[in-house]
Structure 1
Amino acid sequence: MILDNIDRKILSLLQNDGKLQNNELAQMVGLSASPCLRRVKLLEDAGIIKKYVALLDAEKIGKGLTIFTRVWLLGQDIETVEKFSNIMRNHPQVVECHLMAGDCDFLLRVVSADLNEYRKFQIEYLTRTNGVQSIKTEIPMQNIKLTSELPL
């Protein structure tokens, strides 16, 4: 699907506020309600709009500590990588998990209430039994920028 300026404006507005009503969105992009709704539906059907979510304040729900963890596996065979990937995929504290090229095998973004909770996660899930050779934990001191919006 080739995006035109109106599609990009729709996407930009919805990234900023996913609760926009169609009539408001249509007015903001200069369309009537029907064509605007049709465009949004096409963007959804094409998989460009994957889903709509509510973004939560991590501090207010008791998950204010973000930790970045670099993971090195015992091996890079498909079985070891898949086993580790499945464990991370199914663990709610892991909000991002990336298979990396370069120094480490995986980069995780983990959220937790405090260091004790993270340490429990580390002991239970980042162990040799799960194919982990070593880990390095990075704790950010200040959040400078965190966004879910992609540049259009």
Structure 2
Amino acid sequence: MSERASEIKLDHIDKKILEILQDNAKTPYAQIASQLGISEATVHLRIKKLVSMGVIKRFQAIIDPEKVGRKVTAIIGVITVPQKYSQVLKELEKMPEIVEIYDVAGEYSTILKVRVKNKEDLASLLDEIGKIDGVESTKTMYVLRVIKEDTRIKVD
């Protein structure tokens, strides 16, 4: 698990750059510079700084899972033996069908978001998770439809 990151102070230029890049990470520096009334060199240096500070983790394409055959999304609550929790998380991280893992407080030890091709693949994944040493039980919620799913973060 990652360390808690301390909040970084960003000025209005940094915030606008982040807003533009979250809408389209391929926006040319010249276009960003023109929109913000600053030089291309300043945009380049600001983005480089945001990356080095860890504000921007990476640039990536956001793929529609259904268009690449991942038609089933499920949320899985997992209860683990407390002493084996770290070991369980390491095993879960290795599974490519698991796209998000959350360490949570409450009824479950961790919550998973998974994307698979079909219900048979979901059943196989649940069997695989259930076999991990330290997993006591799981509860699966099959996603019927996605109402909101956004990777953008409001920066204010």
The one-letter amino acid of 1:149's match is: R
**Unaligned 5+ runs, structure 1:** none
Q: 1:76 aligns with which of 61, 71, 82?
A: 82
Q: Aligned pair 1:135/2:138, yes or no?
A: yes
TM-score by length of 1: 0.93
Matched to 1:66, the amino acid is T
Aligned with 1:105 (options 82, 105, 109): 109
Matches within 5 A, 1:1-152: 1-73=8-80, 75-77=81-83, 80-127=84-131, 129-152=132-155
Kindly report the root-mean-square deviation, in angstroms, between the aligned alpha carbons of the 2 structures.
1.1
Deviations along 1:90-131, one digit per CA (max 9) or x if unpaired, are 11000001111111111000100111001011112222x421
Q: Could you list the runs of 5+ residues in structure 2 that have no partner in the other structure?
A: 1-7
Number of aligned positions between the proteins:
148
For 1:138, the aligned partner's letter is: M
Q: Percent identity?
A: 28
Distance 1:31 1:109 in 2: 41
Q: Flag as ranges the 4+ runs of structure 1 deviating above 4 A.
A: none
How far does residue 13 in structure 1 lie from its aligned partner after superposition? 0.6
Partner letter of residue 152 of structure 2?
Answer: E
Once the two structures are TM-superposed, the CA of residue 30 in structure 1 deviates from its matched residue by 1.8
1:81 partner SS? helix
TM-score under structure 2 length normalisation: 0.91
C-alpha separation between the residues in 2 aligned to 1:55 and 1:17? 10
Q: Distance in 2 between matches of 1:22 and 1:130?
A: 49
